[in-house]
């Protein structure tokens, strides 16, 4: 369904935005579902296996940062993931056999939604080839002011940057050390119902949402079925049978396609994976600010081990 020039744009720039791809009725359904999850946080004291709470959350004033593995906890998010609205363009980019890596719904709510420090998804889960991407479904209108995804075009063709701090993997990189110029970052802005697709190696992040408009982004991270996770990455396989339950379309294989791709393994893992936020706060050169009283940014903590195991 993608035009040749869109495929070419993705190959050279490392991202694509398809405006108003998802029908309004499905976005409305997804937003109703999201409201239900936010209400579930009322009365909660701490994050659990489904909801990741903002550090400024109070049980009487719920603040959710992320719904973890939305496709597992909601038939609505599962059905959307398996729909042609999502899979059709993905197949055009990485082939007919597609496997889910993981999913999450990042809320970035008005006024306080946490930033995500610069990183490459590939730093968390390198594979034998880089047909690895993330589809973002914009549940709200995304403008420059409410924390859009920021992407460095073309950075998927470069190196894998150091995502370590104090000897441990911390899931975030120093932009200053990378040599990338912040002025070159592109904001992926579009109306609700649009989707973005970004390559697993592209450098990206997003700022705090200080605006008055929410910015919920539903992310489905996918790989070609013959892209095989490297040992040491944040990828749980279990048995082949378990692993293949994540195939969204196409055929199983036990013949990984090997390509010459740059790899820097996310090891050693932080000692206490459950408190990866703690480790990320230790990153000395943060790009994005924190709001007073709010604990630092959330450099892709969704990719923590516990959650990924659940995805398996
Ligand atoms: O929610 C966002 O703004 C960014 C999410 C992201 O980069 C990620 O989860 O890898």
Read off the pLDDT of residues 36-48 as tens digits, 9 standing for 90 and up: 999 999 999 999 9
Per-residue pLDDT, 278 = 46
When pLDDT is cut at 50, 70 and 90, the band that residue 258 belongs to is: very high
pLDDT at 4: 98
Is 203 near ligand 1, meaning CB less than 6 Å away?
Answer: no
Looking at the 3D structure of the chain, how many domains does it have?
1
Atom of ligand 1 nearest to the CA of 204: 7
Whole-prediction pTM: 0.92
Rg over CA atoms, the chain: 18
Return the pLDDT at 281. Answer: 63
Q: Is 302 in the pocket of ligand 1 (CB under 6 A)?
A: yes
Distance from Cα 212 to the centre of ligand 1, integer Å: 20
The verdict on the CB of residue 149 being under 6 Å from ligand 1 is: yes
Which CATH number characterizes residue 116's domain? 2.60.120.620
Which residue among 172, 204, 216, 266 is best mutated to probe the pocket of ligand 1, counting the most ligand atoms within 8 A of its Cβ?
A: 204
Q: Which residue has the higher pLDDT, 189 or 291?
A: 189
CB 66 within 8 A of CB 51: yes
Structural domain boundaries enclosing 267? 4-308
Q: Is the CB of 116 under 6 A from ligand 1?
A: yes
Q: Which atom of ligand 1 is nearest to the CA of 149?
A: 3
Tell me the two tokens of residue 171: 């899931």
CB of 117 within 6 A of ligand 1: the answer is no
Q: How does residue 197 score in pLDDT terms, banded at 50, 70 and 90?
A: very high
Nearest CA, atom 8, ligand 1: 300
């Amino acid at each position: 369904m993608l035009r040749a020039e869109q495929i070419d744009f993705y190959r050279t720039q490392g991202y694509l935005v398809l405006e108003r791809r998802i029908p309004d009725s499905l976005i409305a359904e997804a937003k109703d579902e999201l409201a239900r999850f936010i209400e579930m946080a009322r009365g909660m004291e701490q994050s659990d296996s489904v909801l990741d709470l903002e550090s400024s959350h109070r049980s009487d004033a719920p603040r959710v940062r992320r719904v973890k593995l939305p496709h597992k906890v909601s038939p609505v998010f599962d059905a959307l993931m398996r729909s042609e609205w999502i899979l059709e363009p993905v197949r055009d980019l990485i082939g007919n056999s597609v496997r889910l890596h993981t999913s999450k719904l990042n809320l970035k709510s008005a006024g306080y939604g946490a930033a995500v420090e610069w990183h490459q998804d590939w730093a968390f889960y390198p594979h034998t080839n880089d047909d690895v991407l993330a589809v973002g479904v914009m549940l709200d209108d995304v403008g420059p002011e409410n924390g859009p995804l920021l992407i460095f075009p073309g950075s998927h063709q470069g190196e894998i940057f150091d995502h370590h701090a104090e000897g441990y993997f911390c899931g975030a990189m120093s932009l200053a050390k990378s040599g990338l110029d912040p002025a070159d970052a592109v904001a992926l802005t579009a109306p609700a119902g649009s989707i973005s697709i970004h390559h697993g190696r592209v450098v990206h992040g997003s700022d705090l949402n200080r605006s008055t408009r929410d910015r919920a982004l539903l992310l489905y991270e996918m790989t070609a079925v013959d892209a095989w996770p490297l040992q040491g990455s944040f990828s749980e396989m279990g048995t082949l049978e378990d692993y293949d339950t994540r195939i969204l379309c196409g055929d199983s294989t036990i013949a990984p396609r090997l390509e010459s791709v740059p790899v820097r393994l996310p090891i050693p893992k932080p000692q206490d994976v459950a408190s990866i936020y703690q480790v990320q706060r230790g990153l000395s050169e943060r790009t994005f600010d924190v709001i007073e009283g709010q604990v630092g940014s959330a450099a892709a903590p969704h990719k923590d081990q516990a959650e990924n195991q659940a995805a398996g």
